[in-house]
Amino acid sequence: MSAPERIPPRSVTPPPDAAELLARGELTVRGRIREASNAALYCTVSYNGEDAACVYKPVAGERPLWDFPDGTLAQREVAAYEVSEATGWGLVPPTVLRDGPYGEGMCQLWVEVAPEAELLALVDGEEPEPGWKAIGFAEVGEGRTALLVHADDERLRRLAVLDAVINNADRKGGHLLPTGDGRLFGIDHGVTFNAENKLRTLLWGWAGEPLTEEAAGVLEGLRKGLAEGGALTARLEPLITGAEIDATRARVGAMLASGTHPEPSGEWPAIPWPPV
């Protein structure tokens, strides 16, 4: 199936009933998103006179990974959405698990990106300019290196906290979707929630720095929700394993105990490649 010639824009702000629309609407495949490493289909969904564009990733189209159980990536995407919703930050587009034309899969609302937004850059010099945070040095050809930086943006900082909680093993630049109304969404959360530390991200600019008061409050709310019998635990239990929920609790507890953003462990490549 070929990619559509033009993907029409989606609503920037998700409608209040987006999850119901995605879960219960009629799903029609319009094309394939070729850049995705697993099968990702561009679709429209219709329900009760409402229409939206979405991405459908069938479990049957997932490629096996050596460090994640087969056929679990769609559930992890939904689990990331559930944790995002529990933070109150709304950093992941509405995402559900449902049947579709190619079997069970993840279905996520499409988000239209503001192309002028700049969150990542390569710059000369050894220190970032004001308003930017250093990630590390990258080879840019002919023996030259440049400093890779990301914006010192509170939206990215919130996403860095979320990624640490869900143990995101693949936060690339292309997974950051700034919108025209000032929101920021993160997508592609299939390799998350591993019980082993696998945090791999571009958002290391705050590593070792104190958490904001807001982030500490959000983490305290997550700790309560992740308790035995907690509301968030109940939502995650059908999606990830008990050991993975325990590990999520431990990560939240460790961040609260340290009061800081995590730092690279040195046991796992800290930055995804390619970074975008």
pLDDT digits (tens, 9 = 90+) for 214-269: 999 999 999 999 999 999 999 999 999 999 999 999 999 999 999 999 999 887 78
Which of 28-37, 99-108, 133-142 has the least mean pLDDT? 133-142
Query: Which pLDDT belongs to residue 4?
Result: 35
Give the E-state strand segments of 119-193 in sequence order: 120-123, 132-141, 144-151, 176-178, 184-186
Q: What angle do CA 233, 236, 238 make, to 5 degrees?
A: 120
Query: Which pLDDT belongs to residue 15?
Result: 61
Cβ neighbors of 69 (< 8 A, separation 6 or more) are none
Q: Distances from the Cα of 90 to the Cαs of 24, 81, 149, in angstroms?
A: 21, 8, 24
Query: Which pLDDT belongs to residue 109?
Result: 96
Cβ neighbors of 228 (< 8 A, separation 6 or more) are none
3-state secondary structure of 158: helix
Q: Global pTM?
A: 0.91
